Amino acid sequence: MSPRPTPRIRGSELEAVALQYLTTQGLQMLQRNFQCRLGEIDLIMRERDTLVFVEVRYRRSARYGGAAETVDWRKQRKLIRTAQVYLSMHCRHHSPPCRFDILGIAPGAGSAGYHFDWLPNAFGLSDRPY
């Protein structure tokens, strides 16, 4: 019997699944796991001229709510602040349109074995939930 993967390894595997799903939806990957002292953004992608900051959430069951419910105002604030750091580092001379997506992943049927609940534009930079 093989040991269970650590949460970090499992998270990395699920982010790879999310990345594959989103690229098939037409998004282009720019960066995985952007980190700064304020937090981390799982995936930073581009859809046409829009920067897309993606929070990936895995739920084994919807018994206690879906993925979107796990991204409360505190997490939104953290993601917004982290995105502002990214923008200040990478987009100094222009301010591209931005949005925040939540991609919920749950066990599912089919060849991929996952069910995806993608919420584009779940909140934006101008949303200040604090």
Residue 21 lies in a domain: yes
Q: Tell me the pLDDT of the chain averaged across its residues.
A: 86
CATH number for the domain including 99?
3.40.1350.10
* 28-36 sheet: strands from edge to edge: 28-36, 39-47, 50-58, 98-107, 114-123
Residue 101 lies in a domain: yes
| Torsion sign, CA atoms 56, 99, 44, 86 | negative
Give the pLDDT confidence of 47-75 residue by residue, as tens digits. 999 999 999 998 776 666 677 788 888 99
pLDDT of residue 49: 92
pLDDT of residue 76: 93
73 in Cβ contact with 127 (< 8 Å) = no
* Coil, strand or helix at 122: strand
**106: burial class by Cβ within 10 Å (0-12, 13-18, 19+)?**
middle
Look at the block and give the residue holding tokens 């993925």.
67
Question: What range does the domain containing 74 cover?
Answer: 7-123
pLDDT of residue 130: 45
